[in-house]
Structure 1
Amino acid sequence: MSLISERLYEAWSKMLDKLESWLDILVINLPNIFIALVVFIIVLVTSKYLSKLILRLLQRSNLQRSMKSLISKLVSVLVILIGLFLILGILNLSKTLNTILAGAGVAGLAVGLALQGALANTYSGIILSYVKYVKFGDWIESNGFEGEVIDIDLRTVTVKQADNNLVYIPNKLVIENPIKNFSSTSQSKVILECGVDYSSDLEFVKELTVSTLHEAFEEVKKKEDVIFLYEGFGDSSINFKVLFQINSTSALEVAKAKTEAMIVLKKAFDGNDINIPFPIRTLDFPEGFNILSKENNNKE
């Protein structure tokens, strides 16, 4: 028991000596810790202020809003990193700094392998922030989703659809797949398909359709602006396609214009006894076939 007691006493003494040495180091470095804390606060405030200042200065440039935001964030991160190096120097942790820098290469390789997808999205986000064919406010279609671009960050492109739902598309998919930008021109084309009965006067249908759309939409300055094309003979109708343009790049406005065109054409067709037929099927019985006598025989 005496041997165990001696060892416990010796361990306890070593622990107290260690704690005393740590306390001495803490007291000696207390001014440095206070200075490092002050520097840390100053760095945080400075990074926030510089980020806002850079963003305000970039508002005068022709860069996209996403690129301006990216630059301001990078400046903020750079200021914080510089402040971190200063704090490590104040705390006499230069050896720790060297160790961090030495291990950064190995850690960077491991992180790069683990975050390939995230890094690809980040790189794609930088590209999207720089290019001009996709910018804030554009109405685009990408990866099967259509809507207004309301945000481009380092991970996703945020698209607001016509029903106000938000779709977050990874930047990598936007870069690698085709993009349809409805806002690249000042006008959008409205396409409407329909069909009329085989007994209809095709020349009259064409003239009525063109005149109706010319009167219904201010953008259609003259009848020649409406393109009317018969597409073929369908099972139940003679099908046609009509095209005209409106002064909007929003897909929602295109959908509204198409709805309005359907309403005015239906009224015009009804007022002139032009039938838009349902799908029908014609039965052709052999000559002399009497369906009533056939039914009577079955009853007997």
Structure 2
Amino acid sequence: MKDINNALELLINKLEVWGNQIILLLPNLFVALILLILTFYIARVIRRGLDNVISRFSHSTALNNLISTLLYLTLILIGFFFVLSVLKLDKVVVSLLAGVGIIGLALGFAFQDIAANFISGVIIAVQKPFGVGDMIETNDYFGVIERITLRTIDIRKPTGELVKLPNKMVFENPVTNLSFHGTRRVDLEVGISYAEDLERVQKIVIEALEDVKNRVKTRDVEVMYDAFGDSSINFKARFWVSYSRQVDYVGAKSDAIIRIKKAFDANNIVIPFPIRTLDFAIKGGDRLSDELQSINASLKEGRTNEN
């Protein structure tokens, strides 16, 4: 019974000490609570103001949200550490800082690819090598950009499929931005007969392509002969078109083929078919017709003898 009374007495004394300490801490608790509320309020006001300022310099929504969120969390963290200092919990602050460092290091090793994609996304958002709506080709994928985030770039292929490419792959590999200048050159290969007047053909093709669909009028149509083919003389017709979508390029190329074919038909210009010589391995270089006649004669003679 005596032990129980001693234990109760110790417990009551301990509770009294804690109670006295809590009473002494009441002013600090009140100040800490006020400081915590002010921290959230000030952080929110600064975040809104920063959003308005950043939006004037950057049109990347993902990057703007990232910067404002990081600043907001940083202000909250600083205010939280001040609250712990007011409550005289400095050792807790040191332990938290050490814990955050260790956790950050562990997460860095565990999520290297995610971190690399994130950092690549930030750099892409800052440099702006392309934007939503641009037609690009990268990593063997070709299509129009539908969305850019801090983790992936969404590319819609001309055939309709959506490809989500990690930012790291796009950042580390060559990217062809076909929409950067708003124009693109069409190279069309054509072959004509060896009997044609080359200068006449050149003039006819240039005239045929003057009004081709989407052609940039400030650039001349070029017709350059470049090879003696097996059955034709080959040339390239080159012209520039306005380019924002792939259909601009494909449509102009199709229209050019139609116009060249009509011009050739109207001027009796021949597009030759490939010529092939077939070798049936007839001995001595004899003609195939002579060999067939000899075989037929032998067959007739055999039939006569049978009769």
Amino acid at match of 1:231: D
Q: Distance in 1 between matches of 2:51 and 2:292?
A: 86
Query: How many residues end up aligned between the 2 structures?
Result: 273
Q: Which residue number corresponds to residue 134 of structure 1?
A: 130
2:279 counterpart of 1:258: no
1:15-68 alpha-carbon deviations (Å, 9 max, x no partner): xx9xxx9xxx9xx9xxx9xx99xx79x95x99888766644443322x242533
Deviates more, 1:289-298 or 1:196-205: 289-298
Structure 1 residue corresponding to 2:212, chosen from 211, 216, 219: 216
Structure 2 residue corresponding to 1:178, chosen from 174, 181, 186: 174
Q: Distance in 2 between matches of 1:298 and 1:179?
A: 71
Counterparts in 2 of 1:118 and 1:218: CA distance versus 1, 3 Å: closer
Structure 1 residue corresponding to 2:232, chosen from 231, 237, 258: 237
Q: Distance in 2 between matches of 1:167 and 1:64?
A: 23
Identity %: 38
Q: Which residue number corresponds to residue 201 of structure 2?
A: 205
Q: Which residue number corresponds to residue 8 of structure 2?
A: none
Larger gyration radius, structure 1 or structure 2 = 2
| Structure 2 residue matching 1:243: 3-state secondary structure | strand
2:54 counterpart of 1:58: yes
Amino acid at match of 1:151: R
Residue 133 of structure 1: CA displacement?
2.7
Q: Distance in 1 between matches of 2:43 and 2:292?
A: 93
Q: Which residue number corresponds to residue 293 of structure 2?
A: 293
Q: Which residue number corresponds to residue 270 of structure 1?
A: 265
Q: Distance in 1 between matches of 2:299 and 2:112?
A: 75
Amino acid at match of 2:101: G
Residue 87 of structure 1: CA displacement?
8.8
Counterparts in 2 of 1:48 and 1:249: CA distance versus 1, 3 Å: farther
Q: Where do 5+ consecutive residues of structure 2 fail to align? A: 1-10, 23-28, 303-307
Q: Distance in 2 between matches of 1:242 and 1:298?
A: 58
Q: Distance in 2 between matches of 1:51 and 1:295?
A: 99
2:183 counterpart of 1:187: yes
Q: Distance in 2 between matches of 1:207 and 1:154?
A: 53
TM-score (norm 2): 0.68
Whether the 8 Å contact between 1:140 and 1:148 is mirrored in structure 2 is: yes
Q: Distance in 2 between matches of 1:50 and 1:294?
A: 104
Residue 176 of structure 1: CA displacement?
1.6
Amino acid at match of 1:212: A
| Structure 2 residue matching 1:274: 3-state secondary structure | coil
Residue 234 of structure 1: CA displacement?
2.4
Q: Distance in 1 between matches of 2:164 and 2:84?
A: 39
- The RMSD of aligned alpha carbons is 4.3
| Structure 2 residue matching 1:266: 3-state secondary structure | helix
Q: Distance in 2 between matches of 1:70 and 1:147?
A: 27
Q: Which residue number corresponds to residue 25 of structure 2?
A: none
- Aligned positions of 1:57-136 closer than 5 A: 57-61=53-57, 63-65=58-60, 66-78=62-74, 81=77, 98-136=94-132
Whether the 8 Å contact between 1:219 and 1:247 is mirrored in structure 2 is: yes
Residue 143 of structure 1: CA displacement?
1.4
Q: Distance in 2 between matches of 1:268 and 1:49?
A: 70
Whether the 8 Å contact between 1:227 and 1:244 is mirrored in structure 2 is: yes
1:106-154 alpha-carbon deviations (Å, 9 max, x no partner): 2222221222222111111111111143333332221122223333222
| Structure 2 residue matching 1:172: 3-state secondary structure | helix
TM-score (norm 1): 0.70
Residue 172 of structure 1: CA displacement?
1.6
Q: Distance in 2 between matches of 1:242 and 1:70?
A: 49
